[in-house]
């Protein structure tokens, strides 16, 4: 009888010890979770690239890719910190009651505004350099002299040959070509041989030497 009681007691003690070891092992080796998600901007709901994600209290973490996607291994109960240069710091607490191995979330970050101190930029490193540059200014030219210099024939000719068409002029040219194409849709294209505007453009281009420049390039 004593032998049976001792055997039962030994079994209970060993079972209790095994259960305690199991609980200790689980505490030492908690379940790992594959935590993935996307970081978005609060205003535009667009992905935020290259956000740093750190597990608080550790040296582990990851970085979002260009599309704002991230994925890392965490433990239940960990707290994540999302760091971005242009957004405010946000934390995300992972529940310690999770049972699944994979977990997904969408993290929203709010833009942060930094007020920088005013910086005055001067073209001279010191007041002495400014004084020397100011005294060396040549103010002998009058408004009439500067106007004559800007209206010289050489300067106007240079501007005429090198001035490119503006955005509005390019737009008008493209739209005019489009309207001409639509006007002659289903018909033979119009002949510009007797068009005075085309002849004027040809003569103007010839005077400016555009054809000769093309021949030289060839």
Rounded to whole angstroms, the Cα distance separating 70 from 200 reads 64
Q: Which long-range contacts (CB under 8 A, 24 or more apart) does 91-99 make?
A: 91/56, 94/33, 94/35, 98/31, 98/33, 99/31
**Tell me, what's the pLDDT at 201?**
82
Q: In what order do the strands lie in the sheet with 102-109?
A: 69-75, 32-41, 102-109
Nearest Cα neighbor of 50 from 69, 40, 63 is 63
Burial-class residue 64 by CB neighbours within 10 Å (0-12, 13-18, 19+): buried
Share of the chain above pLDDT 90, in %: 24
**Tell me, what's the pLDDT at 213?**
52
Nearest Cα neighbor of 47 from 63, 72, 62, 69 is 69
First to last CA, the chain: 117
| 200 alpha carbon, distance to own chain's centre | 48
The predicted model scores a pTM of: 0.43
- Whose structure tokens read 């991230």? 70
Angle of the 196-207 helix axis to the 210-217 helix axis, nearest 10: 60
Rounded to whole angstroms, the Cα distance separating 68 from 50 reads 7
Tell me the pLDDT tens digit for each residue of 103-141: 999 999 999 887 888 888 888 888 898 888 888 888 778
Residue 79: how many other CB atoms lie within 10 Å: 14
Tell me the pLDDT tens digit for each residue of 184-206: 777 776 666 667 777 888 888 88
* β strands within the chain, DSSP E: 32-41, 52-55, 61-63, 69-75, 79-84, 87-93, 102-109
Residue 97: how many other CB atoms lie within 10 Å: 7
Tell me the pLDDT tens digit for each residue of 32-47: 899 999 999 998 899 9
Residue 13 pLDDT exceeds 70:
no
């Amino acid at each position: 009888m004593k032998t049976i009681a001792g055997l039962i007691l030994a079994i209970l003690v060993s079972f209790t010890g095994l259960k305690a070891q199991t609980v200790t092992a689980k505490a030492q080796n908690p379940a790992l979770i594959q935590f993935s998600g996307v970081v978005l901007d609060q205003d535009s709901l667009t992905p935020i690239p290259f956000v740093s994600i750190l597990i608080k209290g550790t040296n582990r973490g990851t970085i979002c890719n260009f599309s704002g996607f991230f994925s890392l291994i965490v433990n239940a109960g960990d707290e994540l910190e999302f760091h971005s240069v242009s957004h405010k710091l946000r934390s995300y607490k992972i529940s310690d009651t999770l049972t699944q191995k994979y977990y997904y979330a969408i993290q929203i970050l709010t833009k942060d505004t930094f007020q920088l101190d005013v910086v005055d930029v001067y073209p001279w490193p010191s007041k002495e350099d400014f004084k020397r540059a100011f005294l060396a200014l040549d103010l002998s030219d009058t408004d009439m002299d500067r106007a004559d210099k800007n209206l010289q024939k050489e300067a106007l000719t240079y501007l005429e040959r090198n001035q490119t068409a503006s955005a509005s002029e390019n737009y008008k040219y493209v739209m005019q070509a489009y309207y001409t194409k639509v006007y002659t849709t289903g018909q033979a294209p119009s002949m510009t041989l007797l068009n005075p505007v085309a002849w004027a453009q040809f003569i103007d281009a010839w005077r400016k030497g555009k054809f000769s420049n093309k021949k030289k390039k060839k």
